[in-house]
Amino acid sequence: MDNILLKILDVKKEEVAELKKTRSSNDLLREAEARQDTRGFARSLQERIEVKKNAVIAEIKKASPSKGVIREDFEPDALAASYAAGGAACLSVLTETQFFQGSHDFLRRARAACVLPVLCKDFMVDPYQIYRARAFGADCILLIVAALDDKELHDFEQIATDLKMDVLVEVHDEKEMERALKLKSPLIGVNNRDLRSFETDIRNSIRLKDLVPTDENRLLITESGILTKDDVKLMNDNDIYGFLIGEAFMRQQDPGQALATMMAQD
């Protein structure tokens, strides 16, 4: 099986090199530092999870490498407003261009259309991308453990923290969880999809949950493959209340209503 993650990372490195030719890191960092309006991404999730209420990071995603185009009728502003009305705790906006047809402009538009905190969903390989995320208004960034070494994880987390952003640290297996728990971020995302093969197993979140210390105020977010109310119930039955969901909502005419229906708790 081809390693899709490695292909994406190679493209990201080339993309960042090209971006640096058009705007310097120092210039972008100054713009990022000038923004003082983060919305509290982790806090929004924590307020719900700690009272066992479903907390959803609702994703705005046009396409993916495994599924192709997911939604033709794609207006980030309208999607953000729909998700907010449906009860989302936060938003995630794909900004990766080549494989997911995302854009930083989508992030800017989505954030302007609601009051929810927003995650810049991308494949971070360089501090430049972190500056760019904040400059466009991101309240949180994603760090994929499989994509970075321990020093990069630590350094990137610190850069994001200095810019007043939260960090969602994404893992897929036991070794990655051990590395993630060395970081300070309370947000641990368990990707049920293997980014090397793009195969999915939602029980991955249940298996890895036991590795998270209960006394460290960590917040577990299950990512990928949550498609039905039964999937949500399975997670709730295993004391998981944090979700990152995109495809299941994006395929519906009214994504926010789909969210409200799927996440209703008896």
Residue of 157, 170, 176, 209 marked catalytic:
170
pLDDT of residue 12: 97
Q: 4-35+51-263: which CATH topology? A: TIM Barrel (3.20.20)
Q: Where are the domains of the chain?
A: 4-35+51-263
Q: Is 121 a catalytic residue?
A: yes
**Cβ(198)–Cβ(224) below 8 Å:** no
The helix/strand/coil state of 46 is: helix
Cα 228 to Cα 14, 71, 235, 241, 246: the distances in Å are 38, 18, 11, 14, 12
Beta strands per DSSP E along 109-172: 118-121, 140-144, 166-171
State the pTM of this model.
Answer: 0.96
- At residue 67, the pLDDT reads 85
Q: Active-site residue among 54, 191, 192, 205?
A: 191
Residue ranges of the chain with pLDDT lower than 50?
Answer: 1
pLDDT attached to residue 3: 84
Please indicate whether residue 223 is annotated as part of the active site.
yes
Residues paired with 191 in a beta bridge: 223
Q: pLDDT at position 180, please?
A: 98
Calpha distance 86→71 (Å, rounded): 18
**Does 182 qualify as catalytic in the annotation?**
no
State which amino acid sits at residue 27.
D
From the candidates 59, 96, 157, 176, which is the catalytic residue? 59
pLDDT value for 215: 82
pLDDT given for residue 2 in this prediction: 53
Separation of alpha carbons 220 and 59, rounded Å: 17
Tell me how far apart the alpha carbons of residues 112 and 124 are, in angstroms, rounded to a whole number.
23
Query: Does 66 qualify as catalytic in the annotation?
Result: no
Q: Which of 15, 54, 61, 176 is catalytic?
A: 61
Q: What is the pLDDT of residue 1?
A: 35
